Amino acid sequence: MTAPSPFRSGFVSIVGRPNVGKSTLLNQLLGQKIAIATDKPQTTRNRILGIHNVPGAQILFLDTPGIHKGEGRLNKFMVNQALSACSGVDLILFLVEATAPPGPGDAFVMDVLRRSETPVFLVINKIDLVPREQLLPLIDTFSRQFNFAEIIPISAQSGDGSDRLVDSIRARLPEGNPYYPEDMITDLPERFIVAEMVREQLLRQTRDEIPYGVAVEVETFEEKPEKNLVVIQAVIHVVRETHKGIIVGHQGQRLRAIGQSARLEIEKLLGTRVYLELFVHVEKNWTENVHQLRRFGYE
């Protein structure tokens, strides 16, 4: 009689340049949205834990901000979040795009990874956007620059290749018991994810009209189970008065649109009706203020 395979568990960091699809990949693997994703670089600011239970294993994914040469306190915080996720883990997924050859940003990330003794998978994302024959030259180019443990092409958007990726990860994890209960998908508080979902809609609906100097703070999160309702009040902090006007929009139209879109996402997350009220406050220069960064969870 064959002995059952030992249970495996471990931490896997997802790293790469900004805007290569790290959060999209995390959401795809989990089958549920916990990390916001937009086409804007540096959308992810904090390291986010996603818990993925598969037969015989528990994989703890760490979604990270894009690794870049950050200037300013907020950017340096994001880079430190990503760099710290490269140590003390069992495996690193280096995510790149199939649509572009390796550039200075990829070289910078690989320089960081060379300082770690952790095995690294090269995960080539967005394979649905290029002909398959373009992948072999790209794989060859990356292979000459770094000794990857495995190279796996995927599409984070469609899920193509994700099963192979999970199987390869599971085989590399050490034997060990699960770290979290099977019904947990993240260790993040709901208030954090709610704030992120509001910020996601801000990035999506204001496009390039405002910079990244926006923070969202949930002030009220009141559950009313008898009404199948959660009442949420959140404050959007901006660095300039002009940015407040852009977010509010003519007669408050844009702020209402942001709130409506965010509410729908939050209702999917919580599985209940949501009443969401948004306010906009000006916090001058908060991205360089240590006290304010700490208050908004960035220090």
Q: Evaluate whether 248 touches 238 at the Cβ level (below 8 Å).
A: no
Arithmetic mean of pLDDT, 224-235 = 96
* pLDDT top residue among 120 and 39: 120
CATH architecture of 8-172: 3-Layer(aba) Sandwich (3.40)
Arithmetic mean of pLDDT, 90-107 = 93
What is residue 104's DSSP assignment? H
Comparing C-alpha atoms, which of 14, 82, 88 is closest to residue 46? Answer: 82
Q: Is the pLDDT of residue 1 over 60?
A: no
Three-state DSSP class for residue 108:
helix
Q: Is the pLDDT of residue 287 over 90?
A: no
Arithmetic mean of pLDDT, 13-42 = 89
The domain defined by 190-295 folds into GMP Synthetase; Chain A, domain 3 (3.30.300)
CATH topology agreement for domains 8-172 and 190-295:
no
- The amino acid that residue 1 corresponds to is M
Arithmetic mean of pLDDT, 74-79 = 80
Token digits for 259? 């709130």
Residue 52 half-sphere exposure, CB side, CA atoms within 13 Å? 29
For the chain, the average pLDDT equals 91
Confidence of residue 3 (pLDDT cuts 50, 70, 90): low
pLDDT of residue 285: 85
Confidence of residue 142 (pLDDT cuts 50, 70, 90): very high
Confidence of residue 206 (pLDDT cuts 50, 70, 90): confident
Q: Evaluate whether 119 touches 172 at the Cβ level (below 8 Å).
A: yes
Question: Residues 25-38: pLDDT tens digits?
Answer: 999 999 999 888 88
Q: Is the pLDDT of residue 89 over 90?
A: yes
Distance between CA atoms of residues 150 and 216, nearest Å: 39
| Helix 253-270 / helix 190-206 crossing angle, nearest 10 deg | 140
pTM (predicted TM-score): 0.90
Confidence of residue 86 (pLDDT cuts 50, 70, 90): confident
The set of residues, in sequence order, having a beta carbon less than 8 Å from that of 181 and lying 6+ positions away, is none
Domain limits, the chain:
8-172, 190-295
End-to-end CA distance of the chain: 54
Q: Evaluate whether 247 touches 238 at the Cβ level (below 8 Å).
A: yes
Distance between CA atoms of residues 172 and 179, nearest Å: 17
